[in-house]
Structure formats: structure tokens, C-alpha cells
């Protein structure tokens, strides 16, 4: 396994973008902390608005020239029904507070009333841009309690689908981030290229999204005939088009003005706020669960951990762009290493019989019926499994009481945890930069509210 770390090379050639920048309108951005007055220090960088909802007027100017306004909740710009309360002075953001819960669906409680076979239909809808990773972490938690060993082909198929899902998710982020910053071309390109991955998912699982493909004991079906050619065409095309993204976005003056030096997050703050995924790596912390705590067969493939050097919105963009290329490299290695064999565990207590046998054998029909009506019984115990989703550490804590349904299930959603970083990133920036900073977090509100 390669252990190399790739640091993003910035277009300005400087890995330490200053907090003070001379522009045609004078000095912009933040001054040094040592120059901050004691009164200003009382409002710390990461301080969050603590105004109870309903007890204060949200609109209107205060005596000291400060104003509290709402941004959202609406779908465009805030990437879902996310509401941000902002305390501003002029155009400068002093404090902010993410307000969540508008999409609350109670998926964790719902999981307690669904069997382990039904559970993947539930969790796949949390992060709807990365459904296969949701299914994967749920199944890994259940399988750790079952103590079963999967066939090699099933594990490699899971890796293949997870990395293709990572590519699709990051391409989707490039599209929406481009739209947020005024690039309709990037939005069109991103949706166009993501479509290739979704078409392959549909060919394999029958569904474009919310696939219910990764299941306890393996996967729902084997890869379709000719899958190698399909996947090779996808990665070859998207790899070539990342160069187009680079040319369209990276050196574009308007884009760079919107992202370079904006939304700074230091490595110390990122770690303290439990950030993970591209946000953490963009701040210069080389932490990737696929490297540090390998699961599936990630210890058998070579790839680089992409890190930034400043922790601004540009670094978060660059890290995701380069991660697409690393995932393409992983997918190519998976194609070469994919073994023959069964695609699910050959355990009649966990996996149903082949569908062809149901028409031929009464025992197979009874087996199929009992498995889907009564479910899999998992021994009592508790387990926590974490994987590296496109947004960071996605964890599943599961408690079994010996029945066919989880006694408790809790998801550690990276989007939810990463939103803690917003008050730090927005502090001292311009109101107009809030959209770019929120976009750089890449939150999926279905996972935040669950």
C-alpha cells in the first residue's frame, strides 16, 4: 500500500495566503490576532449565536450597528433546507449559527422497526448523493456482529461501487459549487458526467439512486456482463474531463477572487471541531480512514492522500478535484484485481437462495419466504464501524438484542459534524462569501437531519 501524501499546488504559488490582502478597495480580509482588541476577542473566532429562537427579533438593526439576519432555509445556495443565522456589521459576518432540523425524518428510530434486510432501504436515503456508502457502513456494522466472512468478490464489488459513488458525489459537488459561484457551464458539465456513473448503477442494481444494492452478506446481484468495458469508459472519460474542469475553474480570475483566502480553517480548529473528509485534509491534516484504518481491501490498492496547505475554500475545491483522480486510479486497480467467485456469503441464514431455484424447489421457496418475513437474527452485542464517505467519517453504531431488528442504531453523519466548522469559517468574512463557504462544506441535509 502506498503511503504517499499529495499536497495541492496552489495557482498563486504560495502555500501561506496572508490574512491581509491589498485590493483596489484597500485592505481586505482579517488582521493578525495580536492586533485584535480585547473587546473584539470577547467574540471568539468560533463563537456561535446563542439567541434562543422566538425570544429575539431576528430582523432589525441593533444599537451598536449590528444586525441579525436569516440566510435560508431554501434549497439553492444552502445545499438543502439549511438555515444560517448571521450576525453582521455592515457586510462583515461576526457570528453565525447553523439551524438544522427542517428535513428531519427519524431514520435512526425507523431502523429499530425494520429488519436488517430492510434496513438498507432506509439508510440509503440519508446521504442521497452517496447512497452506497450509507448501505456499506450499515452492512459492515451488522456483519461485525454476525461474525461472517464475505467472499472476496463481494468485497471487491463493494469497493468498486463505493469509489464510483465517490467520483459521482465529487463531480456533483463541482457542479453545484460552480453554480453557487456563477459558473453555469460547470453545473452542466458536472450533471452530464455524473450521469454516466448513475447509468452504470442503474444497469447493475436497477436504480440510479437509493440503490439497496449492498446488503448484509454481500451485494444484491453480480456485476452485469461487460462491466469492465463500462467502468473503463466511465473513468477514462471523467479523467479526461477533470482537465477541462481544471482549465475552466482553477485559473479563472472570478473564481479565484471568490475562494482564495476565503473561509480559512486552521488544522488545529479542524481537529478540535471534529471535522473529517475533504475539509480536514484541505486544512493540511492527512487523515483518511481508507489509509489510517483500512476496511474492505483498501490496504491492497495504491493511492495518495490529498491535503491542502492553507485550509481555505480553494483548497477544499482542489482536494475534491484531485480525489476524483485518485478514485479513478483505485477503480482501475479494482478492475485488474477483481476475482471470480460468489458475490454474497453462502450462508442460508443470511442470504436468500438463487432466484432460479425458487421456481424449482419448495425448500428454496420456504427459505426465501422466511428470510424476508422473519429477517436475519443477529447475536446480542454492540458495534461501531466507520468508513470514509465523500464527506468524511461516516459511522454506524449498532446494538443488537438478538432479534431480527436493531435494538438501537445511531449514525455519525459527517455533514452534521462538519457544519460545526461554519461559524469559524464565516467569522470575519464578507456576507457575499457565505455561499461559497457553505458550498465548500458540501453538506447533504438528508444526512444532517436524518
Compute the distance between CA of residue 376 and CA of residue 216 in angstroms, rounded to an integer. Answer: 9
* 406-412: strand order across its sheet: 381-389, 392-400, 406-412
Least confident of 73-87, 260-274, 377-391: 73-87
User: Mind giving me the DSSP string for 159-186?
Assistant: HHHHHHHHHHHHHHHHHHHHHHTT-HHH
pLDDT-derived band at 57 (thresholds 50, 70, 90) equals very low
User: Do 427 and 87 meet the contact criterion of CB atoms below 8 Å apart?
Assistant: no
Q: What H or E segment, with its residue span, contains residue 29?
A: strand 26-29
- pLDDT at 305 exceeding the cut of 80: yes
145: which 3 cell numbers?
Answer: 456482529
Instruction: Give residue 106's Cα distance to chain centre.
Output: 20
Compute the distance between CA of residue 27 and CA of residue 97 in angstroms, rounded to an integer. Answer: 27
Q: Determine the pLDDT at residue 56.
A: 43
Which one is predicted more confidently, 354 or 8? Answer: 354
Which is it for strands 305-307 and 5-7: parallel, antiparallel or unpaired?
parallel
Mean pLDDT of 65-84: 80
Q: What is the pLDDT of residues 404-435, one digit of tens each?
A: 899 999 999 999 999 999 999 998 888 889 99
> In 244-358, which ranges are E strands?
305-307
What predicted TM-score, i.e. pTM, was given to this entire model? Answer: 0.85
Amino acid at each position: 500500500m502506498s503511503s504517499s501524501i499529495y499536497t495541492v499546488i496552489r495557482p498563486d504559488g504560495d502555500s501561506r495566503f496572508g490574512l491581509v490582502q491589498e485590493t483596489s478597495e484597500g485592505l481586505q480580509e482579517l488582521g493578525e490576532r495580536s492586533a485584535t482588541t480585547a473587546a473584539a476577542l470577547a467574540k471568539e473566532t468560533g463563537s456561535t449565536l446563542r439567541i434562543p429562537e422566538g425570544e429575539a427579533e431576528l430582523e432589525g438593526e441593533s444599537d451598536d450597528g449590528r444586525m441579525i439576519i436569516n440566510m435560508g432555509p431554501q434549497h439553492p445556495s444552502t445545499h438543502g433546507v439549511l438555515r444560517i443565522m448571521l450576525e453582521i456589521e455592515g457586510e462583515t459576518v461576526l457570528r453565525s449559527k447553523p439551524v438544522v432540523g427542517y428535513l428531519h425524518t427519524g431514520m435512526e428510530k425507523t431502523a429499530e422497526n425494520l429488519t436488517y434486510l430492510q434496513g438498507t432501504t432506509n439508510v440509503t436515503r440519508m446521504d442521497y448523493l452517496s447512497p452506497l456508502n450509507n448501505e456499506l457502513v450499515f452492512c459492515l456494522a451488522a456483519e461485525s456482529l454476525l461474525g461472517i466472512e464475505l467472499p472476496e468478490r463481494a468485497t471487491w464489488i463493494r469497493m468498486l461501487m463505493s469509489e464510483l459513488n465517490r467520483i459521482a458525489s465529487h463531480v456533483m459537488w463541482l457542479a453545484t459549487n460552480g453554480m453557487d459561484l456563477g459558473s453555469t457551464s460547470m453545473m452542466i458539465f458536472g450533471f452530464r458526467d455524473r450521469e454516466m456513473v448513475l447509468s452504470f448503477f442503474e444497469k447493475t442494481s436497477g436504480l440510479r439512486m437509493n440503490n439497496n444494492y449492498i446488503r448484509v452478506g454481500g451485494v444484491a446481484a453480480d456485476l452485469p456482463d461487460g462491466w469492465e468495458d463500462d467502468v473503463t469508459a466511465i473513468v477514462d472519460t471523467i479523467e479526461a474531463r477533470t482537465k477541462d474542469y481544471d482549465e475552466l475553474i482553477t485559473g479563472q480570475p472570478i473564481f479565484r477572487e471568490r475562494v482564495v483566502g476565503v473561509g480559512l480553517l486552521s488544522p488545529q480548529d479542524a481537529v478540535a471541531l471534529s471535522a473529517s473528509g475533504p475539509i480536514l485534509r484541505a486544512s493540511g491534516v492527512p487523515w483518511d480512514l481508507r489509509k489510517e484504518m483500512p476496511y474492505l481491501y483498501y490496504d491492497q490498492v495504491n493511492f495518495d492522500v490529498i491535503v491542502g496547505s492553507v485550509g481555505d475554500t480553494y483548497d477544499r475545491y482542489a482536494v475534491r478535484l484531485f480525489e476524483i483522480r485518485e478514485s479513478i486510479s483505485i477503480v482501475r486497480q479494482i478492475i485488474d484485481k477483481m476475482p471470480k467467485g460468489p458475490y454474497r456469503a453462502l450462508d442460508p441464514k443470511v442470504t436468500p437462495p438463487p432466484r432460479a431455484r425458487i421456481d424449482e424447489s419448495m425448500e428454496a421457496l420456504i427459505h426465501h419466504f422466511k428470510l424476508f418475513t422473519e429477517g436475519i437474527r443477529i447475536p446480542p452485542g454492540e458495534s461501531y464501524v466507520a468508513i470514509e464517505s465523500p464527506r468524511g467519517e461516516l459511522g454506524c453504531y449498532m446494538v443488537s438484542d438478538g432479534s431480527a431488528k436493531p435494538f438501537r442504531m445511531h449514525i455519525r453523519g459527517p455533514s452534521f459534524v462538519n457544519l460545526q466548522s461554519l461559524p469559524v469559517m464565516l467569522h470575519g468574512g464578507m456576507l457575499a462569501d457565505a455561499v461559497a463557504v457553505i458550498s465548500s462544506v458540501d453538506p447533504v441535509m438528508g444526512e444532517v437531519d436524518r
